[in-house]
Amino acid sequence: MIQVIATIELKPDCLDEYLAVLHENVPKVKAEEGCLAYDPTVDIDSGLPVQGEIRQNTVTLVEAWASMDALHAHLKTSHMAAYREAVKDYVQNVRLQVLEPV
């Protein structure tokens, strides 16, 4: 299994528009072969002293894939190409952490 933490930093005042496009794409991703989880999240204030600053314009996708091949296939799908085109004006930066459980 491969886990991915995708951090999407948005331009100011784009969160609602971005989330509308993302939520439309989520069922398509979850239907892909090898997708074990694909969950959009946003920061909330937990009140825990070790929590970092709340990121107002950031969406974090928590993903799990059956294999690296499944992850690579996901990135090549037509719905992901359409998603990237639809959100290009909202996104400022994307970072991926690709992880393997030990």
The mean pLDDT value for 16-36 works out to 98
Residue type, 3: Q
Domain count, the chain: 1
Q: For 43-94, what is each residue's pLDDT tens digit?
A: 999 999 999 999 999 999 999 999 999 999 999 999 999 999 999 999 999 9
pLDDT in the model for residue 65? 98
Q: Is residue 17 part of a domain?
A: yes
Question: Residue 21 falls within a domain, yes or no?
Answer: yes
Q: Is residue 49 part of a domain?
A: no
> Residue 68 falls within a domain, yes or no?
yes
pLDDT on residue 50: 96
The confidence score (pLDDT) of residue 66 equals 98
Query: What CATH code is carried by the domain that includes residue 32?
Result: 3.30.70.100
Task: Give this prediction's pTM.
Answer: 0.93
DSSP per-residue letters across the chain = -EEEEEEEEEPTT-HHHHHHHHHHHHHHHHTSTTEEEEEEE-------TT-----TTEEEEEEEES-HHHHHHHHTSHHHHHHHHHHTTTEEEEEEEEE---
Query: What pLDDT does residue 54 have?
Result: 95
* Residue 79 belongs to domain spanning: 2-43+56-99
In a domain, 50, yes or no: no
